[in-house]
């Protein structure tokens, strides 16, 4: 079994830290190991996921298991490990409205884990017909399972009226709102609002110097807090009063709390952007009313199934990986 006690394991082979809050809780719930090749990612995993079995391996020493649970598809896995073979079980890293026009969903692997009906419909629209396992909102389930741990581990600055701004990264579709929106949000949000900012790991990696300079320039602004690198999202979402976003999948995660959402770069045709108010940076004003609760609940139910029986789900995956 290539050094493993089971046919499958999770894998992060590079510094894709944004995969960690997906693969770590998923592997922990399945009681399967997560192989990590980058020491900084392994350190975060060991710090924030208390019951996760982390196997830290150098990339050039790693022998893949027969089945690999990954947020990357087979093409990238094969490129990283050209002389090895493994069957990929694809785990999404969020439920975003991005990517429909790209080719990614055309080759996900042997099977895919899906949150609920929304993702199933998306795959059918992309003509992707493979085995699926429905996993519901497993990250929220994992958070609730370890809520006491996270209450002690992740204690945010206490402010009234905290809005959480979590923009997506500078992807090829141009979905990022940060560079244009952040100065306006800081200057024009009401004085009683505290802005909590979590930047995408890809943004932090690509613009490290620019971000450091920006943080320095706002260091004396007591209404703005930049979060350090904290992968788990639900312990953060549980402590804020509202969410500001663009195309980031964190907006879908925040539906769980039925609190106000505000959108930049809003597209009224997108399901998520129907769940909150659209902000105009040229005349920034937070609406007093929040008439979107019923839409949020409906969208959340469509996006995420109820929590599955994890013992039964593991039996299904074990059986699939034994074929």
- The widest CA-to-CA distance across the chain, in whole angstroms, is 60
Per the document, the length of the chain is: 323
Query: Region 37-42: what's the mean pLDDT?
Result: 97
Query: Would the pLDDT of 38 be above 70?
Result: yes
pTM here is 0.93
Written as six digits, the tokens of 322 are 């034994």
What pLDDT does residue 99 have?
60
Sheet holding 242-245, edge to edge: 224-226, 194-197, 162-165, 242-245, 261-263, 277-278
Cα end-to-end span (Å), the chain? 14
DSSP state of 273: G
| 291-304 pLDDT tens trace | 999 999 999 999 99
Q: What is the pLDDT of residues 72-92, one digit of tens each?
A: 999 999 999 999 999 999 999
Q: How far apart are CA 147 and CA 138, in angstroms?
A: 14
Q: How far apart are CA 311 and CA 178, in angstroms?
A: 41
* Number of Cβ within a 10 Å radius of residue 126: 16
Tokens of 187: 């200057």
CATH placement of domain 152-303: 3.40.50.2000
Helix then strand then coil, % of the chain, to nearest 5? 40, 15, 45
Residue 5 in this model has a pLDDT that exceeds 60:
no
How large is the average pLDDT for residues 132-155?
97
The pLDDT assigned to 200 comes to 87
CATH 3.40.50.2000 residue window(s) in the chain? 8-136+306-320, 152-303
Token code pair at residue 144: 């609730």
Q: Which pLDDT belongs to residue 177? A: 85
Each residue's pLDDT tens digit, 208-234: 999 999 999 998 899 999 999 999 999
pLDDT tens figures, 251-309? 999 999 999 999 998 889 999 999 999 999 888 889 989 999 999 999 999 999 999 99
| 169-189 mean pLDDT | 82
CATH 3.40.50.2000 fits 8-136+306-320, yes or no: yes
Task: Express each pLDDT in 91-100 by its tens digit.
Answer: 999 987 766 5
Per-residue pLDDT, 282: 87
């Amino acid at each position: 079994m290539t050094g493993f006690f089971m046919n499958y394991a999770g894998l992060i082979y590079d510094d894709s830290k944004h995969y960690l809050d997906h693969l770590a809780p998923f592997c922990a719930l399945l009681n399967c190991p997560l192989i990590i090749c980058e020491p900084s990612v392994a350190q975060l995993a060991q710090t924030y996921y208390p019951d996760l079995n982390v196997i830290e391996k150098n990339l050039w020493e790693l022998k893949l298991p027969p089945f690999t649970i990954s947020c990357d598809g087979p093409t990238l896995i094969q490129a990283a490990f050209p002389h090895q073979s493994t069957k990929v079980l694809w785990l999404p890293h969020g439920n975003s409205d991005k990517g429909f026009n790209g080719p990614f969903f055309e080759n996900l692997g042997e099977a895919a884990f899906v949150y609920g009906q929304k993702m199933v419909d998306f795959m059918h629209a992309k003509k992707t017909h493979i085995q699926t396992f429905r996993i519901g909102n497993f990250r929220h389930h994992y958070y609730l399972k370890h809520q006491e741990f996270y209450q002690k581990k992740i204690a945010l600055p206490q402010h009234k009226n905290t809005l959480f701004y979590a923009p997506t990264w500078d992807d090829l579709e141009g979905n990022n709102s940060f560079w244009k929106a952040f100065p306006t949000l800081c200057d024009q949000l009401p004085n009683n609002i505290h802005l909590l900012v979590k930047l995408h790991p890809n943004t932090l990696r690509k613009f490290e110097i620019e971000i450091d300079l920006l943080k320095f320039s706002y260091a004396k602004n007591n209404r703005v807090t930049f979060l350090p690198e904290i992968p788990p999202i639900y312990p953060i979402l549980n402590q804020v009063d509202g969410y500001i976003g663009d195309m980031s999948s964190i907006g879908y995660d925040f539906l769980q709390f039925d609190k106000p959402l505000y959108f930049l770069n809003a597209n009224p045709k997108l399901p998520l952007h129907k769940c909150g108010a659209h902000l105009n940076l040229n005349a920034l004003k937070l609406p007093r009313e929040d008439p979107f609760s019923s839409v949020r609940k409906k969208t959340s139910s469509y996006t995420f199934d109820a929590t599955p029986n994890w013992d039964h789900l593991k039996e299904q995956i074990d059986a699939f990986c034994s074929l």
